Structure 1
Amino acid sequence: MVLVLFLVRTTFRAIFVCTEIGGRAEYIFRVFRFVVIRDYAGEIPGIMIMKSFIIIAVFFCAAASASEDYCYKDVVEACKTTSKKYTTGLNCTAKYGAIDAVQADLQKYANLHLVRSFEYLLMSTHFANYEKNRPGFEKLFRGLSDDKWSNGIEVIKYIAKRGGEMNFNVVGDDLLQEAEEDRSFELYELSAIARALDNEKRFALEAHHIHSEATRKSKSFHDPEISDYLEKEHVHKDRDLVRKLAGYTTDLSALLNGPDSSLSLFLFDDYLQKQ
């Protein structure tokens, strides 16, 4: 009987070490000795007791392993072999939440920033030539170009931070289907600002779309971290920029309808240069 109790105690310790609550092993063993050994030791052979607890030990260990994360299980499996090929497919990534669901949208969003950055740069150089000579408009569109480039890089960094990867070939259908006249960047002053206003509104709506995808639009996931990132880094800035460009469009339109549009345009360009 002493040998049986020793083996049972050892079995209990193995069970609860596997399930990571080893501090309770001694207590539960005492309960087992009090209830089972006292009442049934004379009726059930010791070998049957040991078989029963070996089965219980296997069950607890299997249950504990099944409840672990994929990364831990993959590492355990990889450690069981000396082959390096098993360590290349580990699920130990930074992905969680809705990043897989919105990754393609974030990629399109980043690429849109980069495309608009080059377009604003072309518009800027158009106003900087000797014929136009609008340094204020040149400064405005160069600033927009720099902002779009920086924002695009930050979106790419965010995708990587959340465990995703960037694909520069993913572009929105509406961008591919833009009319030929929309690809001309030698515009007059009012038309250029109006184009920029439309672009910035689209950026705002794209951010709203990704935000809605990450906030319980689907019942299978909810990612408030993505929503918080979009709100802090893009949504509020888009609001301010849309308001500024809308004001520029309204003011310039009114000035050009005045008695001396050439002088008004010169003064407006000077105003932009001082901003």
Structure 2
Amino acid sequence: MKIFVALALFACLGSLAQAVDNEYCQNTVITACSSSAFSALTGFFTGKSNSICNARFAGIDHIEPEIQSYINANLAKSYDYLLLATHFNSYQKNRPGFQKLYQGLSDRSFEDSIALIKQVTRRGGIVDFNTRHESSGSVSTKRGTLEVDELHSLALALDTEKQLATGATHVHSRATHATDAERDPELAHYFEENFLGKQAESVRKLSGYANDLAKLMKVPDPSLSVYLFDEYLQKQ
């Protein structure tokens, strides 16, 4: 009877050890190299198996859809800013200062998208543009008309920057205040370092522009005020 109990206990311990071993890449490698099944070995090295030997850790599985949604939003906003820049660069509008402002915002949003794609792949993910990723903190990509006057374009840009700032805050909060299994301090730090401060500064700058131009236009003929404000934007 004692022998039977000892054997049962040994079997339980062996099963537990095997379950723990499956959590580590080293044990996966040992299993793959000692396996006689060539297909399993091939799957391991080609990345087509569910191997633990990857770059994923912490809460990336839970936060990755939120980041991909934010990538989509940045790409959409980059396109919108590019349309605004083109609108003010036409011979009819001829506002090189506004064109410079919106071209810069378009380039920044596109560069942010590239940086986020690199961050996702660095953490073992794949950005899938064939699938639309939505989350509770998704940034709205609904477009209205972009052929607007100077003051309304600043209001539109300010709203856009606030949406992007809110999206970055949502991802940061998701990575910081989730449960232990879903928390990801590295991603929270990345967004804090690269997005939160920058978005806050952008919101502050555009809100100042909008309020300054609104005050300058409180004259019977605001054309000179708009021209001088455009000259000011060229120097920024």
TM value normalised by structure 2: 0.84
Checking the alignment, whether the CA contact within 8 Å between 1:252 and 1:265 is kept in structure 2 is yes
Going from structure 1 to structure 2, the CA distance change for 1:208 and 1:174 (only over 3 Å counts) comes to closer
Q: Give CA deviations for 1:43-89 in whole Å, capped at 9, x if unaligned.
A: xxxxxxxxxx9999988876655433342332222112243321321
Going from structure 1 to structure 2, the CA distance change for 1:132 and 1:261 (only over 3 Å counts) comes to same
Q: 2 CA distance for matches of 1:197 and 1:174? A: 14
Q: 2 CA distance for matches of 1:260 and 1:187? A: 18
Match of 2:128, SS? coil
| Residue in 2 that maps onto 1:71 | 25
Fraction of identical pairs, as percent: 39
| Residue in 2 that maps onto 1:98 | 59
Q: 2 CA distance for matches of 1:171 and 1:245? A: 28
Greater Cα offset, 160-169 or 62-71: 62-71
Structure showing the higher helix proportion among its residues: 1
| Residue in 1 that maps onto 2:163 | 202
Q: What code does the residue aligned with 1:201 have?
A: K
Q: 2 CA distance for matches of 1:97 and 1:259? A: 60
How does 1:93-172 map onto structure 2 within 5 Å? 93-168=54-129, 169-172=131-134
Could you tell me which runs of 5 or more consecutive residues in structure 2 were left unpaired when the two chains were aligned: 1-5, 44-48
Q: More relative contact order in 1 or in 2 (CA 8 Å, sep 6+)?
A: 2
How does 1:54-69 map onto structure 2 within 5 Å? 65-68=18-21, 69=23
Q: What code does the residue aligned with 2:132 have?
A: V
Q: 2 CA distance for matches of 1:74 and 1:192? A: 56
Checking the alignment, whether the CA contact within 8 Å between 2:139 and 2:164 is kept in structure 1 is no
Checking the alignment, whether the CA contact within 8 Å between 1:117 and 1:145 is kept in structure 2 is yes
Q: State the Cα RMSD in Å.
A: 2.7
| Residue in 2 that maps onto 1:175 | 140
Shift, 1:94, TM fit = 0.6
TM value normalised by structure 1: 0.73
Shift, 1:118, TM fit = 1.0
Shift, 1:223, TM fit = 1.4
Greater Cα offset, 134-143 or 160-169: 160-169
Greater Cα offset, 60-69 or 208-217: 60-69
Match of 1:130, SS? coil
Could you tell me which runs of 5 or more consecutive residues in structure 1 were left unpaired when the two chains were aligned: 1-52
Match of 2:140, SS? helix
| Residue in 2 that maps onto 1:3 | none
Q: 2 CA distance for matches of 1:141 and 1:81? A: 58
Q: What code does the residue aligned with 2:55 have?
A: A
Q: How many residues align?
A: 223
Q: What code does the residue aligned with 1:192 have?
A: S
Shift, 1:252, TM fit = 0.5
| Residue in 1 that maps onto 2:46 | none
| Residue in 1 that maps onto 2:40 | 86
| Residue in 2 that maps onto 1:22 | none
